[in-house]
Amino acid sequence: METNYGFAEKFRDQVLRCSSCGFCRAVCPVFGITKRPALNARGKMLVLKEIMDGNIPLSDDLIDTLFQCTTCASCAKNCPSGVNVPEIIKSVRKDMVQAGTCHPAFVGMNQVLQASPNIYGEEGPPDFGRERNRKAENVFFVGCVGSYREEEATEETLTLLDRLQVDYTLIDEACCSGVLEDLGYAIPENHVQTNVDRILATGCKTVITGCPYCFRTFNERPQYQSLKDQGVEVVHISQFLSGFDFGVKTDQKVTYHDPCDLGRHAGIYEEPRKTIQQITPNFVELPNNRVNALCCGAGGGVRGAYPAHSIAMARRRLEEVEAVGADVLLTECNSCVHNLSNAKLRAQKFKIYTTTQFINRLLEEA
């Protein structure tokens, strides 16, 4: 039986190093809502050991565990053996796709991105009534969720940038496509080329992303290396705005949800808090925050492939918001806003915004 898979070649030692202690049970969001050990990191590593030992082949039987991971990295951050589970999962998904087995939702997502520049396969990007592709100091890169699902949040973020007189332009974006690599597929070269060409054509010094995931893709994937080579810095909007004096305050009780891609993956915990604390004296942390933040359940393709579980994960996070009695939940990721808003119960009276959207509202009311 085939045992010589790419994941094994790259991560064999790490998979073996998982000592099956089970400590990932405490933090895995998928396990948290299913109580099914096959779905947490230990369960996944046991499956991979069986594959490496030649006991089982890569097959559809494994989809429910290998494709059901939000790649939130909670397990990796808490693993006594230092096993980098999200990277291993991404790697084995490549082998799965190559072996012709993948979750149908992701097969579909790949097909959509081959044909369309955005993950929803929707017609042309909204222009938010703003000029695009012009020369500017900064490019504001919206991302798919901000363009097609959380347009209101994006509109208000752009209004805030206008108020602050930031010199920025939008571009005709293609999906950064990082997610495809996470699901076992390749990033389409044409999308990379579109983004790189259009960003460089503006002559910008900085790309400001509204989405933590686009931020990571541009900074971490070698496909986008040419941005760095051309001296373009990519920052997330929370970094860009940290330290701005917005001249507005609220006494509402505000709490903050760390997006996995911004927090655990990129280590950006303090910038958003600095901004929030500047606008409210009434900031309260969620019980699980920073490196221990609970995942909203949207990542790693789980929202598309396992919607009921995705919503259940979001509900767990919202229970924490209720427990601290916050009026407003802020976060820095449109995808988190989208999933958390979808999961919010009518009885839960708090509001959910991106930080920039909230600040813009305060300025409007002022």
Partner 1 sequence: MDKDFKDRIEQIVGPENFSDSLIDLIAYAKDASEYRHRPDAAVWPVTREQVSALLKLANQEKSPIVPRGAGTSLAGLAVPQRGGLVMDMGRMDKILEINIEDRLVVVQPGVVYADLDRKLSPEGFFFPPDPASGSVCTLGGNVATNAGGIKGAKYGTTKDYVLALEVVLADGTVMRTGSRCMKTSSGYDMTKLFVGSEGTLGIITEITLKINPKPPLLSTAMAMFDDLEDAGRAVSQIMHSGILPCALEIVDQQTLKAINQNTTLNLPEVEAILVAETDGYTREETEYQINKVVEIFQRNRASMVRRADDRQEAEALWTARKTAYGVMARINNNLFVEDLAVPMSKVPEMLRAISDLAKKYDLVIPTVGHAGDGNLHPVVSFDGTQPDQVHRVEEASAELFEKVIELGGTLTGEHGIGMAKARFMGMEHDLKSMEYMRGIKRLFDPNNILNPGKMDLEAA
Nearest CA among 339, 307, 295, 333 for reference residue 103: 307
The residues near 250 (Cβ < 8 Å, ≥ 6 apart) are 279, 280, 282, 362
Q: Say which residue the tokens 């209101």 belong to.
A: 152
Which CB atom, from 54 or from 281, has the smaller least distance to partner 1?
Answer: 54
Which CB atom, from 101 or from 177, has the smaller least distance to partner 1?
Answer: 101
Q: Are residues 93 and 67 in contact, defined by beta-carbon separation less than 8 angstroms?
A: yes
Query: Can you list the positions of beta strands (E) in 43-173?
Result: 138-141, 168-169
**What Rg value do the Cα atoms of the chain yield, rounded?**
20
Q: Are residues 204 and 198 in contact, defined by beta-carbon separation less than 8 angstroms?
A: no
Q: In angstroms, give the least distance from the CB of 82 to partner 1.
A: 5
Which CB atom, from 3 or from 81, has the smaller least distance to partner 1?
Answer: 81
Which CB atom, from 39 or from 208, has the smaller least distance to partner 1?
Answer: 39
Binding interface with partner 1 (CB under 8 A) = 13, 16-17, 19-23, 25-26, 35-39, 42-43, 46-47, 50, 56, 61-62, 64-65, 80-82
* Coil, strand or helix at 307: helix
Q: Say which residue the tokens 């209004």 belong to.
A: 159
Q: In angstroms, give the least distance from the CB of 95 to partner 1.
A: 16
- Please give the Cα distance from 266 to 217 (Å, whole number): 11
Q: In angstroms, give the least distance from the CB of 8 to partner 1.
A: 13
* Coil, strand or helix at 351: strand
Q: In angstroms, give the least distance from the CB of 297 to partner 1.
A: 19
Which CB atom, from 42 or from 216, has the smaller least distance to partner 1?
Answer: 42
Which CB atom, from 50 or from 220, has the smaller least distance to partner 1?
Answer: 50
Which CB atom, from 64 or from 181, has the smaller least distance to partner 1?
Answer: 64
Q: In angstroms, give the least distance from the CB of 248 to partner 1.
A: 36
Q: How would you list the strands of the sheet with 328-331, edge to edge? A: 254-257, 328-331, 351-354
End-to-end CA distance of the chain: 68
Q: In angstroms, give the least distance from the CB of 100 to partner 1.
A: 18
Q: In angstroms, give the least distance from the CB of 11 to partner 1.
A: 13
Please give the single-letter amino acid code of residue 65: T
